[in-house]
Structure 1
Amino acid sequence: MDFEIREDRTAQGRKQLLRERETHFRLMQQGFSNEQACRIVGINAKTGQRWRNGRRA
């Protein structure tokens, strides 16, 4: 996998998380659970759940 978790884990804002979001959805399509995909990408499981359910801030 060509994705690397970023070193700076501070809040990045909605637009800065595009790469993480794309990777999260790709992992979900490959059969990973939400929790597994979030752990790999380095985001909170609730964030992944919001993305999956289509909610926006």
Structure 2
Amino acid sequence: MDFEIRKIRTPQGRKKLTAEREEYFRLMDQGFSSLEACRIVGINSRTGKRWRNGWNPSGTRRGHRPSRGW
């Protein structure tokens, strides 16, 4: 696995967690549960739920999950 969990776990603010997000969806595509993928990637399960459902913290709909290039 090439993905490495960030060593510094300080809040990222508005900075996108693109590497974590891509790895989360890669693990989900491989059949891991959302909770297991969140644990492996090192994100909160609520963050994974928001990514999976396409919602942002303010409760408004935000785009879809990243395309797989089909």
The verdict on a shared fold, with TM-score over 0.5 as the criterion, is yes
4+ residue runs over 4 A deviation: none
Scaled by the length of structure 2, the TM-score of the pair is: 0.75
Structure 2 unmatched runs, 5+: 58-70
When the two chains are superposed, the root-mean-square deviation of aligned CA atoms in Å is 1.1
**Structure number, greater radius of gyration:** 2
| Unmatched segments (≥5 aa) in structure 1 | none
- Structure that is richer in helix per residue: 1
Moved more, 12-21 or 45-54: 12-21
**Which amino acid in structure 2 is aligned with residue 41 of structure 1?**
V
Name the % identity: 68
Bigger RCO (CA 8 Å, 6+ sep): 1
